Chain A
Amino acid sequence: SQQGEEDPQALSIQEGENATMNCSYKTSINNLQWYRQNSGRGLVHLILIRSNEREKHSGRLRVTLDTSKKSSSLLITASRAADTASYFCATGSYNTDKLIFGTGTRLQVFP
């Protein structure tokens, strides 16, 4: 079953703008991860945030986690055309040995 629902499903922006994607989930988690998938390729891990963390940064990426609302957001600042891809959140928990992926946000960055 899907754990995460992402919003928006699709997002189109101009280079230089910021892109924000949101992920909501249903059950208790011990971490939430974001992955990127270029068209026709495999997924690549971007960033992991643990359930006891509220915010994390990595380069142009900023992830927030609100466990009370069961939601996370991924912010990509100063976007580039090369950021065009699908972005997925995935959740892990203490009692399940797999990651459950969300439905994804398709980001298009126009030069």
Chain B
Amino acid sequence: NAGVMQNPRHLVRRRGQEARLRCSPVKGHSHVYWYRQLPEEGLKFMVYLQKENIIDESGMPKERFSAEFPKEGPSILRIQQVVRGDSAAYFCASSLELLTGGTGELFFGEGSRLTVL
């Protein structure tokens, strides 16, 4: 059973380019989360999606960032016109059940490390 698969693992972009990060959740998981981690820091929540729906995007910058989880295919985190401050590790996680139930845990991918030159 494959876990959460993220790609690319490493991505280098120049300022102004676009970055697309992909995430395939654990098979059977319909809840997908994206987190961002700066070096030596904790994880900051960005967005929570279910199939074809953005449920909570309260942690996502209003501009340049977007996320989707289509009916078919992986979840995509898209960063347009990247700036140096976007350099970070972006982690995707999935869960089998709603976290509000109090028993759900997150399964994480290995992350995508974005470097903006």
Contacts and interface: CB of A to CB of B under 8 A. Distances in A.
Interface of A: 2, 4, 30-31, 33, 35, 41-45, 48, 50-51, 88, 90, 92-104, 106
Contacts of A97: 31, 48, 55-56, 98-100
B65 interface: no
Contacts of B110: 41-42
Contacts of A102: 42
Given A42-B91, A44-B108, A30 B100 contact: yes
Given A2-B42, A43-B91, A88-B42, A98 B99 contact: yes
Nearest to A9: B40
Contact of A50 (B33, B48, B102): B102
Contact of A43 (B98, B99, B106): B106
Contacts of B31: 97
Interface residues of B, number: 28
B79 interface: no
Given A41-B110, A43-B108, A44-B108, A101 B42 contact: yes
B41 A93 contact: no
A51 to B, nearest CB: 7
Nearest to A96: B100
Given A94-B102, A98-B99, A99-B33, 7 more contacts: A31-B102, A50-B102, A50-B103, A51-B102, A96-B56, A96-B99, A101-B35
Given A30-B100, A97-B56, A45 B105 contact: yes
A51 B48 CA distance: 23
A92 B42 contact: no
Given A93-B100, A95-B100, A100 B45 contact: yes
Nearest to A46: B105
